[in-house]
Structure 1
Amino acid sequence: MARVLLFGFVLVFTIAVHATTLADSRSVHLKYVNKALEKGAVCLDGSPAAYYHDKGVGDGRHNWVIYLQGGGWCSNHTDCKNRSTSGLGTSTRFNKTLAFDTPFFNNNSSSNPEFYNWNRVFVPYCDGSSFTGNKEAVDPAILSGGSAGGLAAMIHCDRFRDLLPITARVKCLAIASYFVHEAHLDGSKQFEAKFEGLISLHGSSKALPPLCTSRMNPSLCFFPQYFLPTIRTPVFIAMSSFDRVQIRYNLCLEDEVCLLHNNCTHERLKAMQDLRHYVLSKLPKACPSQRGVWITSCIAHDLPYYWKTTYGKVLSGWFIDGSYTQVIEDSEIPRNCSSEGISPI
């Protein structure tokens, strides 16, 4: 029996390694946490936490990828109450099956040669706050997530590392979650308000990296530029420098809309390019050497798009080699990659 603990309000649950898959191995049944209510492993509405597990095979049967779903945050009682009736607040709204058919997460050896036969776990997001993970007797393992889930993967990366044997190879992958803080940005600064709400409503400060919270306002320790230097476990960051949520929260919704419709004024485009420069300036540098960076210029959030080389090869090379990796698209012009026919990773 392998144990996985994930807690937001506190999510604590057990995953059986022998979980079975459907005839189509890319679609798996939803599994509820064993004795979830007794352990406090519940969503916002009190329903039991759940997960999807696609079993690894062959030489990948001991390797794990755990993906934490994103979906923003609720930072006040009204938002959390409204959220509690949605698929981001109650497991009663989760799909009964999930198709593991996205790039990096499918079992196709042609499109996903690096990770197709690993154990893959998808953890739906239903607490509106944060996750952490505990998985015993596995090697290697990747803790990953997108958006709010990617932020959680970075925040809890060292805790995840510490719960595994010291000899295990453990790394973390954060997709579309390198949100920045800049007091001088001419925008709405919604991230600051959201994160302050998480501290006051969810009591999240104790779950944040202590080396960060001991030096500054805990709400600022949701920003990777402040806490990631304190994380010792290798982390790979995949994101667009024109991330839609980054633009919406740090500038304004109108900027995101004009970007999607390709009708931004020169002034607004310049503001977004300035934000891009700031994001790039705050990315991890070559020290520590165990960081990885993959940045595109696509107008996108969550899955980054690829160009020139495949995302999977870059990620796999970093995971195996362990040295500093940086791939940044050299374009200050935002691109609508979906309309150009460029596929996500």
Structure 2
Amino acid sequence: MELVVSIVFVLLTCAGMSASSVDRNRLLVNMTVVRRAGAIGAYCLDGSLPAYHIHRGFGAGARNWLLQFEGGGWCNDINSCAERSQTRRGSTRLMNKLESFSGILSNNASRNPDFYNWNRVKLRYCDGGSFMGDAKFDNGTLLLYFRGQRIWQAIIEDLLPKGLSLARKALLSGCSAGGLASYLHCNNFSSYLPNTTAVKCLGDAGFFLDSPDINMYHTQRTFFQHLVTLQGIEKNLDKNCTNSISDPKQCIFPQYLLKYITPPLFILNSAYDVYQFHHILVPPSADSLGHWNHCKLNPKACRPDQIRILHAFRVEMLTALRSFLFNSSRGGVFINSCFAHCQSESQDTWFAQDSPKMHNETIAESVGDWYFGRNVSKKVDCPYPCDATCHNLIGPAF
């Protein structure tokens, strides 16, 4: 099953820009296929070669690198992975060859003040396992590759001679399943780079909780356990984590991995993340009669008892982050109370006139302050509905 979350935005009204002007200014970047990836068995689900999009840095940013994992859910059984292999989520053959770069990937200083002139790379997602799997399924009639870890390796090895090996500064980022990948690969990323490189990582909407649903079933835990088993992920999980926990598969959850991540880390998440709300807290299996449907479509339609459950979920996230919030001197945090999912890639939520803010700072400003050490950047929003800066986010659409 492909799990994709999108947010409907009201675009540009307050920014005073027309849709046509956005189209003219939109940065479209060509796809680069990793031709040598087959040598190490790095294939998408359908056997196609992996790919990325790169827009070169310039000026003071020419030797700085930002790598962004694409998101797009997971597949955790043969049927869903077979279906996924016939879509753009499982095959580079079916992907658009031009990709729009915005938000943290923008090359416009007025829209992305700290990273606009860096080398910016988007890693295309075609393995269904957050770039972590290393297995294969072949029953004679169906062949599926679960080679996310090799895809990651192939892309990095393709980028190193293109200047990544000489990076002065580097930021590994991603959103949703890509945000999870940025947690899971953060330590490994630093191992490819010189000790002199300032390596940091940013997880956007990737802090998926190991939390029971409203019926006290661990729906997401079960889903991830099947994912780890099917795609051969366990052997690629952090060894310090897997050696310290009764079920090593649990180390796919950032809350258990967090204390073992060595590079400085920034956690960007909504306390009311709509993916987690709809698939971890209230998955369809826990609400067969649809009592939560109106609340899911519009938070203002939530009953008081539902709001209390949502607030408790927020507290659970903050509890999982407690040690990081208070003990990590190099960590950054932006946990807001907007009903959102992924906020770094959209211009509206990253850096615009009406972007979400805390303490009068946008997400882009907070991330920049953290990366460059300009200011302490740990911000946690008050509970919904106190934040008045979420107005450019309308209810989630699936």
Secondary structure (helix, strand or coil) at the match of 2:105 reads: coil
Q: Paired residue for 1:155, among 184, 191, 194?
A: 184
* 1:161 Cα offset (Å): 0.7
- In structure 1, the partner of 2:295 is 258
**TM-score after normalising by structure 1:** 0.86
Q: Paired residue for 2:339, among 276, 287, 299?
A: 299
Provide closer, same or farther for how the CA distance between residues 124 and 187 of structure 1 changes in structure 2, counting only shifts above 3 A.
Answer: farther
Trace 1:122-161 onto structure 2 (pairs within 5 A).
Answer: 122-131=122-131, 132=152, 134=156, 135=160, 136-161=165-190
Report the Cα distance in structure 2 between the residues aligned to 1:256 and 1:187, rounded to whole angstroms: 19
Alpha-carbon deviations, 1:80-136, whole Å to 9, x = none?
Answer: 101101111000111111121x22211111121111111010011100113246442
How many residues are aligned here? 319
Report the Cα distance in structure 1 between the residues aligned to 2:393 and 2:228, rounded to whole angstroms: 39
The answer on whether the counterparts of 1:187 and 1:250 sit within 8 Å (CA) in structure 2 is no
Report the Cα distance in structure 2 between the residues aligned to 1:252 and 1:322, rounded to whole angstroms: 39
- In structure 2, the partner of 1:31 is 32
Q: Does residue 1:202 correspond to 2:231, yes or no?
A: yes
* 1:172 Cα offset (Å): 0.3
Could you say what the CA RMSD is over the residues aligned between the two structures, in angstroms? 2.3
Report the Cα distance in structure 1 between the residues aligned to 2:282 and 2:262, rounded to whole angstroms: 34
- In structure 2, the partner of 1:87 is 88
The answer on whether the counterparts of 1:141 and 1:171 sit within 8 Å (CA) in structure 2 is yes
Alpha-carbon deviations, 1:163-200, whole Å to 9, x = none?
Answer: 11111100001000111113586455331122101221
Amino acid at match of 1:174: G
Q: Does residue 1:49 correspond to 2:50, yes or no?
A: yes
- In structure 1, the partner of 2:111 is 111
- In structure 2, the partner of 1:234 is 264
The answer on whether the counterparts of 2:55 and 2:119 sit within 8 Å (CA) in structure 1 is yes
* 1:292 Cα offset (Å): 0.7
Report the Cα distance in structure 2 between the residues aligned to 1:36 and 1:336, rounded to whole angstroms: 47
**Greater Cα shift, 200-209 or 306-315:** 306-315
**Structure possessing the higher relative contact order (Cα contacts under 8 Å, 6 or more residues apart):** 2
Q: Does residue 1:276 correspond to 2:328, yes or no?
A: no
More helix by share: 2
Secondary structure (helix, strand or coil) at the match of 2:269 reads: strand
Alpha-carbon deviations, 1:193-236, whole Å to 9, x = none?
Answer: 22101221011011111111112212211111111111111110
Provide closer, same or farther for how the CA distance between residues 244 and 219 of structure 1 changes in structure 2, counting only shifts above 3 A.
Answer: same
Secondary structure (helix, strand or coil) at the match of 1:35 reads: helix
Secondary structure (helix, strand or coil) at the match of 1:182 reads: coil
Report the Cα distance in structure 2 between the residues aligned to 1:243 and 1:189, rounded to whole angstroms: 18
* 1:318 Cα offset (Å): 0.6
Q: Paired residue for 1:182, among 196, 206, 211?
A: 211
Report the Cα distance in structure 2 between the residues aligned to 1:223 and 1:112, rounded to whole angstroms: 30
Structure 2 gap ranges (5+) = 1-23, 132-151, 284-289, 350-355
Trace 1:287-326 onto structure 2 (pairs within 5 A).
Answer: 287-303=327-343, 305=349, 306-307=356-357, 308-321=360-373, 325-326=377-378
Report the Cα distance in structure 1 between the residues aligned to 2:387 and 2:88, rounded to whole angstroms: 31
Structure 1 gap ranges (5+) = 1-22
Trace 1:61-80 onto structure 2 (pairs within 5 A).
Answer: 61-80=62-81
